[in-house]
Amino acid sequence: MSKKRRGKCLCGTVRFSVSVPDPTFSICHCDYCRRWCGGPLMSVHCPGDATFDDDASLRWYRSSDWAERGFCGTCGSSLFWRLADDPGAMLIVAVDAFEDAGDISLHRHIYVDKKPGRYDFSDRQPRITEAELMAELGITGEGE
For binding to Zn ion (CB under 5 A), which residues are involved?
A: 9, 11, 13, 28, 30, 33, 72, 74-75, 144
Distance of closest approach, residue 84 Cβ to Zn ion, in angstroms: 15
**Would you say 20 or 112 has its CB closer to Zn ion?**
112
8 A C-beta contact, residue 88 and residue 58: no
**Would you say 49 or 55 has its CB closer to Zn ion?**
55
Nearest to 18 by CA among 41, 64, 66, 50: 50
**Would you say 3 or 131 has its CB closer to Zn ion?**
131
**Would you say 97 or 103 has its CB closer to Zn ion?**
97
Distant-in-sequence contacts of 51-57, Cβ < 8 A, 24+ apart = 51/16, 51/17, 51/18, 52/14, 52/15, 52/16, 53/15, 53/16, 53/17, 54/13, 54/14, 54/15, 55/14, 55/16, 56/13, 57/9, 57/11, 57/13, 57/14
